A and B are shown apart, each in its own frame.
Chain A
Amino acid sequence: MSDPIYWPSFFFLLFAGIACAFAIAVVVSSNIVRMAFYLVMSLAATAGLFFVAGADFVGSMQVLIYVGGTLVLLVFGVMLTSQDRFISMKTSRFELGMAAGVGACLFLLLLFAAWSVPEWRSLSREQVDAIALEPTATPLGMALLGARVDAPESPDVAGYLLVFEIISVHLLVVLVGAAYLARAKRKGSAIAE
């Protein structure tokens, strides 16, 4: 009755492989719209990883914000502004070296961080199977309002209300600024131009 293949690992490797392959394709490609497309595939595969991990809310969020929102706007922006020189981007050797250096540093940092968390290591398959799949939306929503129902035993754990507010005010300022910069000129000042 046991499975010949351990399916969670299979799907993890599948989605991780897709994400990595398309991430490399983004770097290698020189056509900017294709880059955007590869980025979409990479981010969508990341959403798949979230779904495999049972975080359906975060996965849907990834699809809505990154794949559906940001990338559509990115391609839209490229189409609006694309001149001949933007269609194909040539990176100089120096930029390539810089990017490789920064990327390698970040990779090492993340690798170090990932291996230094004890909860993320040494889980046997039985332990993993014992973890019940729980709905994530409600605890996340409550935590956003400041009540960490996922950690009732430790009242010191803060909710995300303050962080959320800071980010929203920041975004509001950005939006107002963008609207100010992009506003239509008044008729009176149009003569001067």
Chain B
Amino acid sequence: MAQFLIAKDIWPWLAYTLAALVHIFLLLNLVAVGALLFIWMERKVSGRIQDRLGPTRVGGKFGWLQTLADGIKLLTKEDLMPEGADAFLFKLAPYVSFCASLSAFMAIPFAGGQYPFVALHMNVAVFFIIAVLGLEVFGVILAGYASASKWSLFGAMREAAQVVSYEVPLGMCAVVPVLIAGSMDLVFIGDRQAGGFWNWYVFHDPFTFVTFWVYFTCATASVNRAPFDLAEAESELVAGFHTEYSGLRWSFFFMAEYGSMMAVSLLASILFLGGWHGPLPIGTGLGLTFENGFWFGFAGNVLGTANILLKGIIGVTVMMWVRWTLPRLRIDQVITTCLKYCVPIAAMAFLGATLWQYALPNRVFFGLAEMRPQSYAIEEVLPNRNSQPADAKPVSVTAELNRTNHRANIASLD
């Protein structure tokens, strides 16, 4: 967007500031309004599944006013702090969690193509998002420690053990689509899966299919949702790490939680479920691509954004469904699930996907269909150095590697 504004003869610093403000505004609203929506959905889903009669006195169609009433209640609640708490860390902890959750959205693309809808188009976006999402636990640990309450401390310790363990299989699962696409760029990974659901990586081969479910389990655990919500097990720990929080500080933790749920769901949809590409290539079929002009492509991207948001919301809904269906695990069962099941399965799936990719390259849908030629595993273009003449084409990794090996061979012959 900044480049677009600069092209319109606006001062670069103003263009960058405007672009940044628009991005911040959109992402902040996605997280905050998303949290409102998800709290409403959580009530509805739990009501349907567990036959709960929710609040009945608050009006609005389908009870949507209840969320607003909650918001007003949280805003006007007294801001309490227990005696003996570390005031500085206690006040800071919710913001640490929220910032970590929000920063992950910085690198998530919402539509691809020539002008992707992404605040920060990173070459290593997958890696960055996983790294940043791991920071959310830090706010929880600080909250648990600074509250000067044993319930908080227990909750935070459980959360730390759990999240640190689950990051291992989560990373292993996220590597599989990276391996198939040949890039860590999320825009790139999403666009590799264009053209119909049979191109999605979840259906690429049996191993990616397994990987997707392992990823989803680990993602649920790493955002600390039931059945893995040991850190806030209300039957044992009152409320876990946020026992001592009230009012707006408490709601920051919840915005962070719903934000991370959305972030891992969006990441899942980009990595495995085709991202902004629908199950059938309708947008492309209508000609909504950048080849037909900027505004056509823009409309296609808006459609793609709706698509990926829908996928993300479906992911969050499944997490809610799981939460209200399964009972909470014990802490040893949580760690067993991670270390004895998720890690080995993820490792085997990684190996299997590698071998599959080696044996059946350029096939999709469990090897049944031919991959579109524009989705073949890439040879990433490397910058050409001064050893190349200026007009030479950028060389691919493989060619460069061959050349390097060749030179090494020559050197060893000498």
Contacts and interface: CB of A to CB of B under 8 A. Distances in A.
Interface of A: 1, 3-5, 7, 31, 33-34, 37, 40, 56-57, 60-61, 63-64, 67-69, 71-73, 75-76, 79-80, 132, 134-139, 142, 147-153, 155-156
A155 B86 contact: no
A149 B411 contact: no
B127 A57 contact: yes
A17 B162 CA distance: 34
A78 to B, nearest CB: 8
> Which 8 pairs across A and B sit closest by C-beta, in order of nearness?
A64-B131, A68-B134, A155-B407, A135-B123, A153-B387, A63-B131, A134-B383, A76-B160
Given A152-B400, A155-B404, A75 B141 contact: yes
A156 B387 CA distance: 15
Interface string B122-137: 1110011011101101
B405 A147 contact: yes
B124 A56 contact: yes
Interface of B: 11-13, 16, 86, 88-89, 92, 122-124, 127-128, 130-132, 134-135, 137-138, 141-142, 144-146, 153, 156-157, 160-161, 163-164, 167, 184, 380, 382-383, 385-387, 397, 400-401, 403-405, 407-408, 410-411
14 contacts: A33-B89, A57-B127, A63-B128, A64-B131, A67-B138, A68-B137, A75-B160, A132-B383, A136-B123, A137-B123, A142-B397, A142-B401, A148-B404, A155-B407
Given A64-B130, A75-B141, A134-B383, A149 B404 contact: yes
A149 B74 CA distance: 56
A150 B160 contact: no
Nearest to B131: A64
Nearest to A77: B160
A56 B403 contact: no
B151 to A, nearest CB: 14
Given A68-B131, A149-B404, A37 B12 contact: no
A40 B137 CA distance: 13
B404 A79 contact: no
A114 to B, nearest CB: 25
A60 to B, nearest CB: 4
B380 A138 contact: yes
A149 B397 contact: yes
Contacts of A151: 385
A63 B144 CA distance: 22
A79 B141 contact: yes
A152 B407 contact: yes
Given A68-B137, A147-B400, 17 more contacts: A3-B11, A5-B13, A37-B142, A56-B128, A61-B127, A63-B131, A63-B135, A64-B130, A67-B131, A67-B135, A69-B164, A75-B142, A76-B161, A135-B380, A147-B404, A147-B405, A149-B401
Contacts of A156: 411
A154 B362 CA distance: 35
B397 A31 contact: no
Contacts of A34: 86, 88-89
Contact of B124 (A57, A68, A132, A148): A57
A137 B124 contact: yes
Contacts of B160: 72, 75-76, 79
Contacts of A150: 385
Contacts of A71: 138
B382 A139 contact: yes
Contact of B11 (A1, A80, A137): A1
Nearest to A150: B385
B157 A37 contact: no
A75 B138 contact: yes
